[in-house]
Amino acid sequence: MAEAWLIQPSGPLVGDVRVHGSKNAVTKHMVAAIMGQGPSTITNVPEVGDVEITAEILRAVGAGVERSAGAVEVTPPEEAKAEVPLSFSGLNRIPVLLLGPLLHLTGEAFVPRVGGDRIGGRPVDFHVKALRALGAEVEVTDDGIRARCRRLRGAIIELPYPSVGATESALLSASLAQGKTVVRNAATEPEVLELALFLQRMGARIELAPDRRVVIEGVPKLRGARTRLAGDRIEAFSYLVAGLATRGTVRVIGCAQDRLVTAITTLLRMGAQVSIDEHGIAAFAPDGLHAAAVQTDVHPGFITDWQPPLMVLFTQAEGMSVLHETVFEERFVYVPALQAMGGEIELFATCLGGPACRFHDTSYLHSAVVRGPSKLQGTEVEVPDVRAGFSSVIAAATASGPTLLHGVRHLERGYHRPAEQLRSLGLTLQEK
């Protein structure tokens, strides 16, 4: 695997990109599958690093995981091990989701500290509170989380914020619990619903009620199931923006329009033209782009993972744009790199471009004002996380002069064969 990419100015990026299932859905499906009474098969699986990390974690607790072209088959453990080894500490966010499933399989569980992108504190207190509500004894230590319970029991789980991961934890834990669980203030992101649909195929009884309520009637057992993942909306938006920012046109194939509705409307507001048909979604801006004010939010709002590519697009749009990040408190970590390339961006701790958010009275720099268009220059960049990494790629593609990106492993954790896809669009990219 390459450590760095050297990106040369290459002109407009033009062409088709096929997206696969999303990183943030596939790994959760793999976890669900260990609760079935037989093997499950997941198809349209992306080739991303997180799938392999998750496969290793599941193998460590005794599951079988076989990968073939575009598919993953998970065979539940015959005799599950209750502990995820400490060596998986900090690699991704999957171990915490295993607490419920391991409790069902063994009555106890230990998972090491979770990692994932460094975009904020990323606590797991909602997950812990949900498990306690379901009757588990949970101890949080410096190394990780230990839980015990002979049989989880349905409960009311009130989430303080509609967290994707905590809603998924609750779905996984409640499906085999005794009795009814109601999750209030649940996340409704498409990847969460996709997991709920997969659990339903496995035999779970899940009702998606109005007002962010999810009702789960526990069942005594689940079976193996098959599913084909829907296309990754984060990857899709990233490539649409790569085309627009370089004054080219990328057509994304394999991601349904309804997963991108807010993203498409945002691009239209900036003056882009978007063509949508059964072959895919393409965006182009023959008359240039203008500024916009955007606030990230939970679904169906403008998702936080679309924010880093949008920031780069703002540097190429005419006028003053505003971006207010309300989901993760430190998701502007990549901005200094963009400033070093010539992006005119100023960060503020106040809430700009939308109503006050949870970070209102903190000193987190979570609003940005961007003046465009700026001519970016290539430089040397250390990639801090997966989405930030892709935004640096887009910035490098618009820049004059070469850019050397270090830490591209982050990109490979979340994007399907990114170097190959980018080269096919015309980017001159050398792996180092």
Q: What angle do CA 10, 12, 319 make, to 5 degrees?
A: 115
Tokens, residue 165:
């991961």
Q: How far apart are CA 363 and CA 342, in angstroms?
A: 25
Verify binding: residue 165, ligand EPU, rule CB under 6 A.
Answer: yes
Pairing between strand 137-140 and 144-148? antiparallel
Verify binding: residue 231, ligand EPU, rule CB under 6 A.
Answer: no
Question: Could you tell me which residues come within 8 angstroms of residue 429 by beta carbon, excluding any fewer than 6 positions away?
Answer: 5, 6, 7, 8, 419, 422, 423
Nearer Cβ to ligand EPU (34/234): 234
Nearer Cβ to ligand EPU (282/357): 357
Verify binding: residue 222, ligand EPU, rule CB under 6 A.
Answer: no
Hey, which residues between 94 and 153 contact ligand EPU (CB under 6 A)? 117, 120-127
Other Cβ atoms less than 10 A from the Cβ of 49: the count is: 20
Nearer Cβ to ligand EPU (166/396): 166
Would residue 117 show up in a list of annotated catalytic residues for this protein? Answer: yes
Q: How far apart are CA 148 and CA 364, in angstroms?
A: 37
Among 42, 61, 164, 176, binds ligand EPU (CB under 6 A): 164
Site string for ligand EPU, 242-281 (x = CB under 6 A): ----------------------------------------
Q: How far is the CB of 130 from ligand EPU (least distance, A)?
A: 9
Site size toward ligand EPU, by CB under 6 A: 27
Nearer Cβ to ligand EPU (123/288): 123
Nearer Cβ to ligand EPU (304/374): 304
Question: Could you tell me which residues come within 8 angstroms of residue 211 by beta carbon, excluding any fewer than 6 positions away?
Answer: none
Site string for ligand EPU, 374-403 (x = CB under 6 A): ------------xx----------------
Q: What is the DSSP annotation of 99-159?
A: HHHHHHHHSEEEEEPP----SS----HHHHHHHHHTT-EEEE-SSEEEEE-SS-B--EEE-
Among 327, 369, 396, 405, binds ligand EPU (CB under 6 A): 327
Helices 125-133 & 99-106, crossing angle to 10 degrees? 30
Q: Residue with the closest Cβ to ligand EPU?
A: 165
Verify binding: residue 52, ligand EPU, rule CB under 6 A.
Answer: no
Q: How far apart are CA 354 and CA 62, in angstroms?
A: 48
Tokens, residue 225:
């199931």
Catalytic hit among 50, 117, 232, 305: 117
Just list the catalytic residues. Answer: 117
Residues contributing to the site for ligand EPU (CB under 6 A): 23-24, 93, 117, 120-127, 161, 163-166, 187, 189, 303-305, 327-328, 386-387, 414
